[in-house]
Chains A and B, each alone.
Chain A
Amino acid sequence: MLDIFIGLVQVVLREGFIYGIMAVGVYITYKVMDFPDLTVDGSFPLGMCAAAALINGGMNPWLACLLSFAVGAAAGAVTGLLHVKLHITDLLSGILVMTALYSVNMVITMKRAVMPFYNLPTIFSSGLGGMLYGALGQWGWVLMALIVCMAVKFLVDLYLKTRSGLLLRASGNNSQFVISQGKDPGNMKILGLMIGNGLTALSGCVLAQQKESADIASGTGMVVMSLAAVIIGEALLGRIRWIKPTLTAIIGMILYRACLTAAMQMGLDTSYLKMLMSIIFIIALVASRIASGRGTHNGTAVNRTTI
């Protein structure tokens, strides 16, 4: 009984940290930029498929992570260009790229719905990850996921303190202010979408490496899941000053994964998984709205309740 419980905790933490990378990305587009980005449903499997194709081709798994980030960033750039240069609405730009990415992913996997790469070196099976797994078993994988997730969180926190990062935060907050500083807010939007989707693809890449397989249908519900993580994290921990919002997003993701896992364990049929994902999101959204209505200092937060 305890073994089963520990096993579940390991899965929740491992997947929470891996999907947490995506939550950090969505925190950037949704909270920092105030952009409801639906590209995520396409860029997550894009990262997975890229990982499968690259590692099958014999690439170093860490290099595959970097390249996945790059292709995700490229997808984000397209969404940004559609929105900024062609004046297509934010939601529609994301939907268009998400749809187009389905074909891109098909091309990458050579028309296969699932693309495995068993027994090839991944960040979990070789190098540091292999050592950790050898020493700690399942906890080694949890630790590896934690290390990658924290590295991403640390880099993003650092970035948000640079001039470019400050301007990015300013552009989601007050685009006129960006114009006043002599910069084009449209370019900042594109940059933010590149970072957000780059991280999403990286998250997909890391998950694929852990599962040693890429699933082309894995994108459905990623937007909902990440937004829920960001909102849950903020609602629960947003008032604690020393916890950075990147960390609240990751913790939100772990809690969200825990809810899903618990429901599955209680015997919910997997067919209802996506339904449950939406329902938890709705509950989180409504609860956070009620909470911020009662709150005292939420006047400045970007509180977009209509998505």
Chain B
Amino acid sequence: MAQQLTAPQSEPMVRMEHIDKTFNPSSVNEVVLFQDFNLQIQKGSFVAVVGSNGSGKTTILNLLCGSLPADSGKIFLKNREITKMKEHRRSKFIGRVFQNPAAGTCPALTILENMALADNKGGSFLLQPGVNRRRTAHYQEQLAQLHMGLEDKLGIQVGSLSGGQRQALALLIATMTPIDLLILDEHTAALDPRSSENVMELTRHIVEEKNITTLMVTHNLKFAVQYGDRLIMMHRGQMVLDITGTEKSQLNIKDLTEKFDEISIEDGN
């Protein structure tokens, strides 16, 4: 495989080892998704994951974040086993942006309050003042990168922002404190084409600037080709395609679409 072509100094940030996962076990709806599934993600890489519905791509994210437990197998983040760690504890190391723009931010709170909470991620939430005014300039600086004019609207409720604005803010919030892994869960799927492009460009900017290891699940094959240095195609719980390096950079959307259609037809959808 082309894996050897990646930078030799790289070490795995994420390791999923011998993962088994069955949904609705011993019922008529039983679905055996993963059997001895293995995945390694190198530090600093930006992995795009595509696949049809039910292929297991979102389950990978849920297992990594701890929203779903694995039946067996082990998960490591930066050589530390997190298999049994609770979801909210993993949040200290993992940032996540969801498909639904409402999930990554708090609509009833202001932009300032949302950012102040994110700024304190993993810290203590006691009776200290909720918003530290001295950090306001820093928040404005961060918001200015979005080019949406939000830096002048710190006091407005996030619920009144558009989906694209909320998703951009969610991206800032997820990466506000240093994290080991950024998870993008179809984070552009609910946006219009123009906002999707903006949010993807912003994603690239933030990921490159902060050099965050990133795992992005997407339905958008164009984005999967255009962004990231590794592409994985999932099908029925298995990686049917895993390309990196030059092979990835030479990949074109036509080849990928053909490959995708191939497996989709096989599945009858």
A interface, CB within 8 angstroms of B: 159, 161-167, 169-170, 173-174, 176-185, 297, 299-302
Given known A180-B96, A182-B89, contact A163–B125 (CB-CB < 8 A):
yes
Chain A residues with Cβ below 8 Å from B9 are none
Chain A residues with Cβ below 8 Å from B127 are 159, 162-164
Chain B residues with Cβ below 8 Å from A159 are 127
Q: How far is the CB of A190 from chain B (nearest CB, A)?
A: 14
Q: Say what secondary structure dominates the interface of chain A.
A: helix
- What 0/1 pattern do residues 82 to 114 of B give for CB contact below 8 A with A? 000011110110011010001111111100010
Q: How far is the CB of A122 from chain B (nearest CB, A)?
A: 30
Q: How far is the CB of A33 from chain B (nearest CB, A)?
A: 12
Interface segment, one of B116-124, B188-196, B230-238, B241-249: B116-124
Which residue in B124, B130, B160, B174 is a CB contact (below 8 Å) of A300?
B160
Which residue in B89, B130, B160, B173 is a CB contact (below 8 Å) of A165?
B130
CB pair B88–A162 under 8 Å, yes or no, is no
For chain B, the bracket of interface size reads: 35 or more
CB pair B92–A170 under 8 Å, yes or no, is no
Which residue in A174, A181, A301, A302 is a CB contact (below 8 Å) of B118?
A181
Q: How far is the CB of A278 from chain B (nearest CB, A)?
A: 29
Provide the bound-state CA to CA distance between A297 and B125, in Å: 30
Least CB separation from B89: chain A residue: A182
CB pair B108–A300 under 8 Å, yes or no, is yes
Q: How far is the CB of B33 from chain A (nearest CB, A)?
A: 23
Chain A residues with Cβ below 8 Å from B118 are 180-181
CB pair B159–A299 under 8 Å, yes or no, is yes
Q: Which of B86, B95, B130, B159 has the most CB of A within 10 A?
A: B130
Which residue in B88, B108, B109, B126 is a CB contact (below 8 Å) of A163?
B126
Provide the bound-state CA to CA distance between A176 and B225, in Å: 30
CB pair B157–A181 under 8 Å, yes or no, is no
Chain A residues with Cβ below 8 Å from B95 are 180
Least CB separation from B66: chain A residue: A179
Which residue in B105, B130, B159 is a CB contact (below 8 Å) of A162?
B130
CB pair B121–A181 under 8 Å, yes or no, is yes
Provide the bound-state CA to CA distance between A162 and B130, in Å: 4
Chain A residues with Cβ below 8 Å from B131 are 161, 166
Provide the bound-state CA to CA distance between A300 and B96, in Å: 23
Provide the bound-state CA to CA distance between A185 and B107, in Å: 16
